[in-house]
Amino acid sequence: MRAAVISERGAPPVVGEFREPEPCEGAVLIDVDTAGLGGWDVLGAYRLGVEYPCVIRGEGVGRNPEGRRVYFGERSVLPFGAWAEKTLVPAEEVWTVPDHVDDKTAISMGIAATGAIVPLEKANIQPGENVLVLGATGTLGQIALQLARYLGAGKVVAAARSEDALNRLKATGVADDVVCLRGNAAEDVAALKEASNGGFDVVLDLVCGQPMLNALKATRWGARIMTIGTGAGRKIELDMGDLLFRNLSTIGTGQRPPADRRAIWERLLGIAQERKMIVDYVDYPFEQAAEAWAAQISGPHAKVTARIRS
């Protein structure tokens, strides 16, 4: 079968021939229609313990042996994955896609939207509160801004570095206000405070590092800061004075049992439809998996997908 294959740690994927998965007890053989890519797939592909060659894992939508449309997360049985004509996925990770839901929505409401709604619900947003999404221009951020509003936020603010991507969020109404982070701490703090409407009550932090420390200074007492990603740095030098009367939590969503993640995903499909949620996509031909991979690494400001079955 055709597959996007990573031959060794650190190597980019190359589309070529790869052995087909064989049916096995407890797993579902899937003919893949659409594959998605996220930052976690890049990190996961080069983790210690991964054996090569392997297919890009990814999320996807395809057909089970009965021909039913199904979504599956990045849980393919190794060395298989979504970026191939066929994959093999543990049965409890294979979820039926309702007819009215398109492949790309099914994918973006998977890992990305789950990663947004779980911490936002834990933050217990009160009606009218000010919410900041830090690192808001990626898939998760775009969805988080809309979910924050759905959960009752008043002012919803997006912060990141790409002015163009931020302007799109403002133009589409996904964010009420945007803050372009330029890397000068004092200026970034001032810009965040200015946009904070007197102080952020909730910060969904997708990046950590210095941007998180800066955002903390623009929060008010009682603020909940939920950190879920570390793209801007895992180590921080935190002045505890900035955290007084605030709560800083870290959250991971992937460890939840499959049935819990499935219930969250099904709920998110409903919210996406009800709220007409907007997500930017960038679609690659399957044969350009290497280009898709490179785009994901450089920060695509959109969900990367590929049509596997033409």
170 contact partners, CB below 8 Å, separation of at least 6? 158, 177, 178
From residue 172 to residue 211, what is the string marking binding to ligand NAP with x (rule CB under 6 A)?
A: ---------x------------------------xx---x
| Smaller CB separation from ligand NAP, 21 or 211 | 211
Residues of this chain, 144-163, that bind ligand NAP according to CB under 6 A = 160-162
Q: Is 39 in the site for ligand NAP (CB under 6 A)?
A: yes
| Smaller CB separation from ligand NAP, 69 or 161 | 161
Report the DSSP beta bridge partners of residue 35.
60, 306
> Quick one: 301 exposed, middle or buried, by C-beta within 10 A (0-12, 13-18, 19+)?
buried
The residue within the footprint of ligand NAP, chosen from 197, 253, 273, 288 (CB under 6 A), is 253
Q: Which residue's beta carbon is nearest to the bound ligand NAP?
A: 138
Stretch that binds ligand NAP, among 10-18, 32-40, 45-53, 95-103 (CB under 6 A): 32-40
The residue within the footprint of ligand NAP, chosen from 301, 305, 306, 308 (CB under 6 A), is 301
| Smaller CB separation from ligand NAP, 44 or 154 | 44
Q: Taking the complex as a whole, how short is the minimal distance between the CB of residue 41 and ligand NAP, in angstroms?
A: 10
Residue count, binding to ligand NAP (CB under 6 A): 30
From residue 205 to residue 224, what is the string marking binding to ligand NAP with x (rule CB under 6 A)?
A: -xx---x-------------
| Smaller CB separation from ligand NAP, 18 or 34 | 34
Distance CA 23, CA 26 (A): 9
Distance CA 212, CA 53 (A): 37
User: In sequence order, what DSSP letters do the residues of 239-254 get, joined into one string?
Assistant: -HHHHTT-EEEE---T
Q: Taking the complex as a whole, how short is the minimal distance between the CB of residue 198 and ligand NAP, in angstroms?
A: 23
Q: Is 228 in the site for ligand NAP (CB under 6 A)?
A: yes
| β-pairing verdict for 2-6 and 14-17 | antiparallel
Distance CA 183, CA 85 (A): 43
The residue within the footprint of ligand NAP, chosen from 81, 109, 138, 286 (CB under 6 A), is 138
Distance CA 186, CA 303 (A): 32
Tokens of 215: 């955002």
| 213: amino acid identity, one letter | L
Do 194 and 175 form a contact (C-beta atoms < 8 A)? no
In 3D, which of 260, 137, 308 has the Cα closest to residue 206? 137
| Smaller CB separation from ligand NAP, 112 or 272 | 112
Distance CA 109, CA 116 (A): 10
Q: What are the DSSP E strand ranges found in 81-235? A: 86-90, 94-96, 131-134, 156-160, 177-180, 200-205, 219-227
| Smaller CB separation from ligand NAP, 86 or 224 | 224
Q: Is 73 in the site for ligand NAP (CB under 6 A)?
A: no
The residue within the footprint of ligand NAP, chosen from 5, 107, 111, 157 (CB under 6 A), is 111
Q: Is 122 in the site for ligand NAP (CB under 6 A)?
A: no
Q: Is 110 in the site for ligand NAP (CB under 6 A)?
A: no
Distance CA 39, CA 16 (A): 23
| Smaller CB separation from ligand NAP, 14 or 180 | 180
Do 82 and 32 form a contact (C-beta atoms < 8 A)? yes
Tokens of 158: 């997006």
Site residues (CB under 6 A) for ligand NAP? 38-40, 111-112, 115, 135, 137-141, 160-162, 165, 181, 206-207, 211, 228-229, 231-232, 251-254, 299, 301
